[in-house]
A = this chain, B = another copy of it.
Amino acid sequence: MEGVDMVESKEWYMAAYARDGVPSSDHLKCRTFSLSRVAVDSIPDDHIAIQSRWISIDPYLRSRMTGVEEGGLNVTQFPINQVIVSYGIGKIIRSKDEKYKEDDLVVIPEMPVAEYSVVPSKAVFIKIDPAIGVTPLEYLNVLGVPGFAAWIGIQVIGKPKAGENVFISAAAGGVGMIAGQLAKLKGCRVVGSTGSDDKVKLLKEEFGFDEVINYKKEPDLDAALSKYFPNGIDIYFENVGGKTLEAVLNHVNMYARIPLCGMMSQYNKVWTEREGVRNLLNMVGKEVHMQGFMVLSYLHLFEDFGTQIGGYLKDRKLTSKLKINNGIESFLDSVASLFTSSNIGKVVIQV
């Protein structure tokens, strides 16, 4: 904003709900508004004006675009014609809260998907302390929602024991690749599934997965699981749902744990069209524990998480990968890309 009286800011808004299918430009639209220096200078008390720097693109966003509250993830729907919000990092350009000053970088869980915006200062979750020595982007990744989700699923719900067999679907996604590493750090044997040979190679060579299934080359998942899990599955970190979950339930060991992080394969379908899982009875005999979770319910553990994961990062025991898309214009394509198996790692927009 320096040196100009007026700036144009682009933002994405919900034009129409996408009940099923991948959202398109019919549903998500970009518009431009003008923001004046006067407006920025006159923000209310306990508010901050921010310039968005990075925006996190996560699968759960899809569930806020259906117009159906009870669609499965139990998340509120983006109001029509209003700006979309997502987890992000902004740079403060004006502050009316003494806790924050200009140029601070702050993590905002519900940051407007806009180049510039004004939000209540209580919307800030974390002020990034440069002295900690972690790159800001890690706060959207290993130290952010994907890392926290992976940690809750593996450590809190999965409770891995050394030598156990762990299966991770969508293993090359932002959450999956961290979940796999956390299980490896606990001494487990870890097998992932993903959709390309490049990702298979990456997960094995850079992320330490023991085996990785390319589900496009081995479409019979039941057979693949027989091959890769001769001793059965103790923990299944669920990211995709449907037929994948059904196949897994034919290979679970006694007392298996299934943390349910998400079910990406089912997000673009109305619930009556989703794939039914027919073998839940296996959960009785094998005494399986299946547990859905959302990160917001575990915020009381965020500090423990930060300490442990921060330690792993410092000791270089944990690595990650980002898919960085440039410019806020890429928002729609970034969301759509989550459902095409085209990404490696966590998707972020650099504004």
Contacts and interface: CB of A to CB of B under 8 A. Distances in A.
B276 A275 contact: yes
Given A241-B280, A291-B290, A73 B274 contact: no
Nearest to A281: B72
Interface in A36-66: 63
A74 B286 contact: yes
Interface centre among A262, A278, A280, A287 (most CB of B within 10 A): A280
Contact of A281 (B73, B246, B254, B279): B73
Contacts of A74: 254, 282, 284-286
Contact of A284 (B255, B262, B281, B284): B262
A298 to B, nearest CB: 10
A292 B71 CA distance: 25
Contact of A260 (B241, B262, B284): B284
Nearest to A256: B292
Contact of A285 (B254, B277, B294): B294
Contact of A276 (B262, B278, B287, B289): B278
A297 B289 CA distance: 14
A288 interface: yes
Copies of this chain held together in the complex: 2
B287 A278 contact: no
Given A288-B292, A289-B291, A291-B289, A274 B283 contact: no
A278 B267 CA distance: 12
Contact of A283 (B63, B281, B292, B297): B292
B250 A70 contact: yes
B292 A287 contact: yes
Given A279-B271, A280-B277, A285 B250 contact: no
Contact of A292 (B63, B72, B250, B285): B285
Interface in A287-330: 287-294, 297
Contacts of A286: 74, 292
Nearest to A274: B278
A349 interface: no
A279 B290 contact: no
Contacts of A275: 276, 278
A178 interface: no
Contacts of A254: 74
A75 interface: yes
Contacts of A191: none
A266 interface: yes
Contact of A274 (B250, B266, B274, B281): B281
Nearest to A284: B292
Contacts of A255: 297
A261 interface: yes
Contact of A290 (B241, B266, B272, B283): B283
16 contacts: A70-B250, A72-B282, A73-B284, A73-B285, A74-B254, A74-B284, A246-B276, A255-B297, A260-B280, A261-B284, A271-B279, A271-B281, A282-B292, A283-B290, A288-B291, A290-B291
A-B CB proximity, top 3 nearest: A276-B276, A74-B285, A72-B281
